[in-house]
Amino acid sequence: MTMFEAILLTVITASTPLLLAAIGELVVERSGVLNLGVEGMMVMGAVMGFAGAQWTGNPYAGIVCAVLAGMFMALIFAFVTQTLVANQVASGLALTLLGLGLSGMLGEAFVGQPGIKLPALDIPGISDIPFIGPVFFGQDLLVYLSFALVVAVTWFLFVSRTGLKLRAIGDNHVSAHALGIPVVRYRYLAILFGGACSGLAGAYLSLAYTPQWVENMTAGRGWIALALVVFGSWRPWRVVVGAYLFGAVWISQLHLQALGSGIPSQFLSSLPYIATIVVLVLISSNRRLSLINTPAALGKPFVPER
């Protein structure tokens, strides 16, 4: 394996949880809802993913548990912000607090226990091709799923009729409502999808990235995922670019350190954040690239009048 391959493999691992969570949040935000509780849903996914795998001995069962946990958290958020039209920003932050506490409580028994690692799914024949094989086809289910989700979400948002309706809601829920689209129901489903994706991201952490449970193990990745949605200007493939850019800089700075660069490590550690800002500035200062996609109704409450 060459160094480049090796680095690429690490980058994929570092980027996948960000991508999974971000792609879910992208759909949520496209529907006009801002859920800042990604970190809380993700950490719940991590603990329940770990728990599920421990109980059943099967990491795939863990993934299912993680998805359900993420959706459960999302449901709380959906009920409070959609049915009761509470403020979304504050509810999302409260969801993060709740998730961090609840996961710590549920996970107490799992501290210090090695987890079950999600196996790599080799595709016979293809996985043996030099370079392409191990990098692209020697990954675990969740990595494949992250890309499948990107393709599916792209198709859903920009090709399917339902996706069009969802975007219509995100841009103007009043008109969408007037057209007879059930705004609240769509949003509920979008939020649940976001929760499921955050759950997957959490499962990736506790089953693949580092198969173990420790409190607060998401370590702020939910926030980065949120930022990446903005970075990708609400377009799935740009979110992929963002997640991988972040992951690549994140890993490169570690390599730079190991090579003995002499640059203060704090500066290197802040590189991924700076790089994201710089690239976004470059994109947004370019007229051709900067299509404004911000869902106009983002974060605004909606109550059907009758």
Partner 1 sequence: MRLELKKRPEHSKAMAIASPLIAIALTVAFGAILFAVLGYDPLKALYSYFIEPLTEAWSLEELASKATPLVLIAVGLSVAFLSNTWNIGAEGQYTMGAIFGSIIPVYFWQWDGWMVLPAMMIMGMIGGALYGAIPAFLKTRFGTNEILTSLMLVYVAGFFLDWLVRGPWRDPGGYNFPETRDFSEAAILPPMFGNGAMHWGAVFALVAVVVVAFLLGGTLKGFEVKVLGQAERAGAFAGFSRKKMVYFGFLLSGAFSGLAGIATVSGTVQQLQPSISPGYGFTAIIVAFLGRLNPVGILIAGLMLALTYLGGESAQVTMGISDKVVRVFQGMLLFFVLACDTLILYRISLVSGRSSAGKDDAPRENLVPAEEAV
Partner 2 sequence: MKTKLFAAAALALGLATGAAQAEPLKIGFIYIGPTGDFGWSYQHDQGRKAIEKALGDQVETTYLESVPEGPDAERSIERLARAGNKLIFTTSFGYMDPTLKVAKKFPDVKFEHATGYKRADNVSTYSSRFYEGRYVIGQIAAKMSKTGTAGYIASVPIPEVVRGINAFMLGAQSINPDFKVKVIWVNSWFDPGKEADAAKALIDQGVDIIAQHTDSPAATQVAEERGIHSFGQASDMIKFGPKAQLTAIVDNWSDYYISRAKAVIDGTWKSEDTWGGFDKEMVHLAPFTNMPDDVKAMAEETEAKIKSGELHPFTGPIMKQDGSEWLKDGEVADDGTLLGMNFYIKGIDDKLPQ
Tokens of 221: 């990745």
104 binds partner 1, rule: CB under 8 A = yes
Q: Which does 257 bind (CB under 5 to 8 A by kind): partner 2, partner 1, none?
A: partner 2
Q: Which does 82 bind (CB under 5 to 8 A by kind): partner 1, partner 2, none?
A: none
198 binds partner 2, rule: CB under 8 A = no
Taking each helix axis as running N to C, give the angle between helix 3-30 and helix 183-204, from 0 to 180 degrees, rounded to the nearest 10. 160
Q: Which does 10 bind (CB under 5 to 8 A by kind): partner 2, partner 1, none?
A: partner 2
Give counts: helices (H), strands (E), the chain. 12, 0
> Which is nearest to 145 in space by CA: 4, 289, 21?
21
Separation CA 249–CA 36 (nearest Å): 24
Q: Which of 113, 160, 162, 284 binds partner 2 (CB under 8 A)?
A: 113
Q: Which of 27, 65, 76, 145 binds partner 1 (CB under 8 A)?
A: 76
| Strand ranges in the chain using DSSP code E only, listed in sequence order | none
Separation CA 238–CA 276 (nearest Å): 12
Q: Which does 125 bind (CB under 5 to 8 A by kind): partner 1, partner 2, none?
A: none
Residue 17 · residue 207 · CB < 8 Å: no
Contact flags string 107-146 toward partner 1, x per CB under 8 A:
-x--------------------------------------
Residue 18 · residue 243 · CB < 8 Å: yes
- Of the pair 188, 250, the CB lying nearest partner 2 is at 250
Using CA atoms, how far residue 207 sits from 7, 57, 58, 117, 213, in Å, is: 21, 12, 10, 5, 9
Q: Which of 124, 161, 178, 258 binds partner 2 (CB under 8 A)?
A: 258
Q: 35-49: buried (b, 16+ CB within 10 Å) or exposed (e) per residue?
A: bbbbbbbbbbbbbbb
19 binds partner 2, rule: CB under 8 A = no
Q: Residues binding partner 1: what is the number (CB under 8 A)?
A: 65
Point out which residues bind partner 1 (CB under 8 A): 34, 76, 80, 83-91, 93-95, 97-102, 104-105, 108, 174, 177-185, 215, 223, 226-227, 230-231, 233, 264, 266-267, 269-270, 273-274, 276-277, 280-281, 284-285, 290, 292, 294, 299-306
